[in-house]
Chain A
Amino acid sequence: MSSKSYKSLSDDIWKNRVDKINSEVFTLTYGSIVAQLCRDFTYAEVNTQLEKMGYNIGLRLVEEFFAKTGLGRCTSFKDTSEVISKIGFKMFLNITPTVTNWSGDGKQFSLILDDNPLTDFVELPEDNNAANELWYSNVLCGVLRGCLEMVQLDCDVYFVSDVLRGDPITEMRLKLNKFLKDEVPAGEE
C-alpha cells in the first residue's frame, strides 16, 4: 500500500472507528500517574515502570490495531515504520510523527514527535535530576515494543531527546534486533 492510501485509511479510522476521550482528561490522567510514580521511585525506576506499563498495553493494543485496520503484516521494516507513524500513532493519538534518520543497514530509525499530547501543560520537577534522568513519555516506548513483539519483531525502543528536557526536538529511536520466528507445531521444523 502506498503512503497516500495509509493516510486516507487512518483518517477514516480516526474519524469513524475509534472511541475518543477529551484530550485534557487523558493528559492529566497520565500526568498524575507519572507524578505518583515519581513520588514512589527514583527517576530511573520510573522510566522502567512506565516502559513496563506500556509494554503490557502494547500486547493488547496491537489487536485493536489489526481489528480496526484490517491490515496484515508488513512486508519490510521500512513499511513498518510508515505504518507505525501514519496509522498507529494517528489512530491512537491523532499525531503523525516524522520517520527519519535511517541507519545504513535499514534496521534503525527515529520518530520525531512534533506534537506530543502526553506532555501538554507538563513541566518537569525543578531538581536537576529530572531533566537528566526522567523520560516523561516512556510509556510510548513500551507500547511500541509490546506491539512489535506481537508481530514477531524484536525491537529496542528508547527516547533520545525530549523537548520537556529543553532539547530542540522530541526523538524516539527504534532498533530492530531480530525477526522472531513464528512458532511451529511440535514435531515440525
Chain B
Amino acid sequence: MAVYSFWIFDRHCNCIYSREWVAITQDKPDHQQEQTQKNITNTGTINARNQDHVAKLLFGAIFSLKQISSKLNPQEETTANNLKSFSTLKYRCHFFETGTGLKFCLLTDPKTENMQFVLKEIYAKLYYEKIVKNVLSPVDFKENEYIDNEVFITGVDNYISSLAVFNN
C-alpha cells in the first residue's frame, strides 16, 4: 500500500483530522480514541494521533519548510513560492494549503507522483461539501475537537482507496 496517512490542520495549528492506513512509527498512539467508528474501517486508525508527537512534528516540519520556501523567493512581493511536497528516503509528504489557512497533508511512498489534485479534490468535494456546508460542524474547531462526521470519513477513505497508487 503506497498511501500511508492523511492529515488536516486548521488555521489554529491544531490537527483536526488524522487517518493512518499504515503505521508510520513504531510508537503506539499517545491516546487511543474510543473506537466507535470500528464499523467504518478495519485497517489503521482514525483521529488517534491528533494530539500525538508525530502530528506536532509533522506540522512543525511543514510550517518551517513553508517559511523557508517563501523566504527563498526573490519575487516575494508578487508571486508566491508555495510548498507542494517534500520527500525522504522512505516517504513523500504532499501538502496543500487553502487561502483560509487549512492545511492538507498526505504521506505516501516516495515514488508517488504529484498528488496536489487529490488534496484539492478532498478540499473542494469533501471538506467543503460535508464539513463547511454542514451546520452542525463548527467554523472553528476547538482544541481537542476532531472531525468525526462519518460521511466525511468514509468519503475520504473511499476516494483515497480508489486511487491507483493506493493499491500499488
A57 to chain B, nearest CB (A): 11
B99 at the interface (CB under 8 A from A): yes
Known: A184-B63, A185-B63. A67 touches B128 (CB 8 A): yes
A56 CA / B79 CA spacing, docked (Å)? 31
List residues of chain B with CB within 8 A of the CB of A70: 120, 124
Interface of A is mostly: loop
A103 at the interface (CB under 8 A from B): no
Residues of A118-153 contacting chain B, CB below 8 A: 150-152
List residues of chain B with CB within 8 A of the CB of A59: 139
Interface size range of chain A in the complex: 20 to 34
Residues of B42-78 contacting chain A, CB below 8 A: 56, 59-60, 63, 77-78
Nearest residue (CB) in A for B82 is A72
Nearest residue (CB) in B for A74 is B99
B109 to chain A, nearest CB (A): 26
List residues of chain B with CB within 8 A of the CB of A66: 98-100, 123
Total A-B contacts with CB atoms under 8 angstroms apart: 58
1/0 per residue B89-108: CB within 8 Å of A?
Answer: 00000000011110000000
B163 at the interface (CB under 8 A from A): no
Asked if A68 and B99 make an inter-chain contact with CB atoms under 8 angstroms apart, the answer reads: no
B165 at the interface (CB under 8 A from A): no
List residues of chain A with CB within 8 A of the CB of B139: 56, 59-60
A140 CA / B73 CA spacing, docked (Å)? 37
Asked if A63 and B63 make an inter-chain contact with CB atoms under 8 angstroms apart, the answer reads: no
B115 at the interface (CB under 8 A from A): no
List residues of chain B with CB within 8 A of the CB of A71: 99
Asked if A184 and B80 make an inter-chain contact with CB atoms under 8 angstroms apart, the answer reads: no
A105 at the interface (CB under 8 A from B): no
A40 at the interface (CB under 8 A from B): no
Known: A63-B98, A63-B100. A75 touches B80 (CB 8 A): yes
Residues of A65-111 contacting chain B, CB below 8 A: 65-68, 70-73, 75
A72 CA / B100 CA spacing, docked (Å)? 9
- Across the interface, A63 reaches (CB within 8 A) one of B80, B120, B132, namely B132
Q: Give B residues with C-beta under 8 Å from A.
A: 11-13, 56, 59-60, 63, 77-80, 82, 98-101, 120, 123-124, 127-128, 132-133, 139
18 A-B residue pairs with CB within 8 Å? A56-B139, A59-B139, A60-B133, A63-B100, A63-B132, A65-B99, A66-B98, A66-B123, A67-B128, A67-B132, A70-B124, A73-B99, A151-B99, A182-B11, A183-B12, A183-B13, A184-B13, A188-B60
Give 10 nearest A-B pairs by CB, closest first: A67-B124, A67-B128, A63-B132, A185-B13, A66-B99, A150-B100, A59-B139, A73-B99, A66-B98, A60-B132
